[in-house]
Structure 1
């Protein structure tokens, strides 16, 4: 990985601080991706938790049941 300073003239301390942030972020992402299964579906992303009731079928009173339960 190459980091290029486009503007300004950072001091060595500023450069070291920026590189530390980049390295810590990369290490955190690597650790997170290795501990979590890649294709696991969490309960939060499961659409079944929102649509607990079947969708209304066509009929005369369907308009009254189109609001999702709350």
Structure 2
């Protein structure tokens, strides 16, 4: 940093530790990135497969949904 430039962040009160300053910088960086993405009109990335709750729903071996309704318990154990 040169002598004529201003600091980006200045602590005016209190005595924060390095972890607290790092957390503040991380939050400010994330907010700036989100604001830039919103300004550019970029769509948010699709959720990952790990975050997709539909993967928890059981399906048949063919990939279709399990049978529903009366007698579904019997149909769920029979091969198609």
- TM-score normalised to the size of structure 2? 0.42
Structure number with greater CO (CA < 8 Å, separation at least 6) is: 1
- More helix by percentage: 1
